Chain A
Amino acid sequence: MSTARTTELRTDCSVGTDGRITLRLRLPPAARPRLVLVLRPKKGRPEEASHTLDLEPCGEHGHVRAVLEPRPVLAEGRWDAYLLRGPDAGRERLRPGLRDLRLLVHGGTREVTSPVAVRVPYATKDGFLALRTWRRTAHAEAGPLDIRDGAMTVRAHLHGAELSEGAVVRLRLRGGRGTERVYRPHPAGGGDFSFTVGYRELAEGAAGSQVWDAFLQPAADAPPIRIGRLLDDVADRKGVYVYPRVTVGGAAVRPYYTVDNDLAVEVTAAG
């Protein structure tokens, strides 16, 4: 990545009704320009996945356009956008222009089928264009969090699976070798459900800072899926959806969204 040059070309993108993403930029005439999405590897690991799109001329003024179709579903992660001006040209990292994501805004209100695939174009912290993707067999989309009287009630909607009799919500202690708390979800019809987590129970015996990750197991024999919030235009939710910190039994408890937009609860023992 460090070998890639940076281009000051701004790339506009828009998300269409069918989930198709159109990327558009203005380019001096080039032999066969392409746009490459590269899945950001874990630190110190080599790149493994990339997705190349042709940039076709569109309209006047030297604009070119690439279309990312809804299929194939991309692997979950962060995809950095690069420009290849020609067959032998080096990669140039692209800067974001206007990202028209208005059709994603109320995405939480529509039904999504399995596999749940979400793609949100965003600007990285250092100002480059990237695509945030999620790919999950099923997904529990969190809605409003009602926080009062030392407890939080989460309203959520299950996508891509059925909520059955034996469904349970599990809060798993991160790094806790299987330590978990189990809650019974209350179905509210049509895939809607809610569950309530008493803070005192989580706070008990907390030492230092602990994180509990939230999962839904839709049926007794089904694998647990993450509860998170993925279905709108907010690629990085952590600093935007901020919930109050409540002190219960000598510990501060605060739900939050992880860097992957999954729901977790942080418990910090006082002192």
Chain B
Amino acid sequence: MKISFLIHNAYGIGGTITTTFNLAGALAERHDVEIVSVLRHREHPNLTPHPDVRLRALVDLRREKDHPLHRRPAEVFPSAEYRYHQYSELTDQRIAECLRSTDADVVIGTRPGLNVHLALQAPRHVARVGQEHLTLDNHPPALRTALRRAYRHLDVLTTVTEADAGAYRRKMRLPGVRVEALANSVPDPVLPAADGNAKIVIAAGRLVPVKRYDLIVEAFAHVVAEYPDWQLRIYGKGEEQDRLRARIETLGLWNNVFLMGAATPMEAEWVKGSIGAAASDFEPFGMTIVEAMRCGLPVVSTDCPYGPGEIIRNGEDGRLVPVGDSRAFGAALLDLIRDDERRRRMGRAAVDHARRFAPGPVVARAERLLEEAVAARAGGRRGAPDRGGMHHALLSRGHAARDLAHAAASGALRTVRKGRR
């Protein structure tokens, strides 16, 4: 198969980029794979793509930032999408042209706005696979409404959790579209797993409010009170940096809590720790949780929608604690810090259990989905039979009406949710 990924910006940092590079690299072993990055702002991507994966960009911001068309608002890319302000008439045109002229058998969109382009503009013979790395319930109503219209032209829609796939099946009427959960894969670790002896807790990701690193810092104050020789290392960059620094100072944790800056790849950092931490209020998947587990760390995470609960088995290979509760989070960390044997046992269990997110099983599933979508297109069929009948139709119509009403009533809601990202 010729497979083309369409991504927002392959040159940045983030879970979608990592997982796309991973999947593309694995598929490149047997297929012809390219990644098309809508935007480009630097010479080299942060992650090195597999040598057989071609990478190209549609708009090079280093030269075209001031292109007159780039100053005019996008019309195809939906205005309710989170990254709408980074899109323009120029991106509309380039993406449309890229899709029109593609020689791929299947194009994979990697975010809602790009899935809309794909659904509306891909040539008839090209299979259309939309990937959702966020979740339906967290999309603002106006975006849900836009997606509801466009997504019915997809062949396959993949979500990263079963819970989110369930939400799409329940709340959107997408006749003929196959909705399937496809977890993010995490490459097989190269280094030996952590041995569980280091007195270090590790968290990693973009330093943005929704990730709640402030909660981990607060929880760690409870740890330090009992175990002053333990460290918390937080890897990543972002808008929260200064606030976190201030919080560390206020709590007097400068000898124990460190903002390490960004580290790519994280593998060599994970193995320095013996517990992973994730405290998001909302986490569509939880790539860093799987990364940490594959490196031998049991992870303490909030049980937020939806990812962590589908990754961690509470008490076996990690701990799930209520969202927003720093005391509970600290207690869960302390449970693992106090009991060396339990921590090591859970670390070994984490390695075993997280194998299901290895590229092998995930890629095999992705490959099957893609092949079936391509075959269905070639045979003039679509992805899935209509399911659910009248009851399902009525139910999803109810959700559609509610979203429309919400979208009309309040742009404010959208702004609020946008701010939480």
Q: Which residues of A contact B (CB under 8 A)?
A: 8, 10, 12, 14, 98-102, 105-106, 143-145, 147, 233, 239-244
Contact = CB atoms under 8 A, between A and B. Distances in A.
B261 A100 contact: no
Contacts of A106: 198-199
B254 A240 contact: no
B260 A240 contact: yes
B33 to A, nearest CB: 19
A239 B260 CA distance: 8
Contacts of A98: 190-191, 265, 267-268
B interface secondary structure, majority = loop
Given A105-B272, A106-B199, A239-B261, A100 B254 contact: no
Contacts of B255: 143-145
Contacts of B245: 242
Given A102-B271, A240-B260, 5 more contacts: A102-B268, A102-B272, A105-B200, A240-B261, A244-B249
B272 A243 contact: no
A67 B261 CA distance: 29
Contact of A244 (B198, B254, B271): B254
Contacts, number: 45
Interface string B257-292: 011110001011001100000000000000000000
Contacts of B265: 98
A10 B264 CA distance: 12
B272 to A, nearest CB: 5
B194 interface: yes
Given A10-B48, A106-B199, A243 B254 contact: yes
A101 B228 CA distance: 23
Interface centre among A102, A105, A106, A244 (most CB of B within 10 A): A102
A12 B254 CA distance: 31
Interface in B198-216: 198-200
Nearest to A12: B190
Nearest to B256: A144
8 contacts: A102-B194, A102-B198, A102-B271, A102-B272, A105-B198, A145-B255, A241-B254, A242-B259
Given A10-B48, A243-B254, A101 B272 contact: yes
Nearest to A105: B272
Q: What 3 A-B pairs have minimum CB-CB distances, sorted nearest first?
A: A144-B255, A244-B249, A98-B268
A233 B254 contact: no
A101 B48 contact: no
A14 B194 CA distance: 14
Contacts of B272: 101-102, 105, 233
A144 B252 CA distance: 11
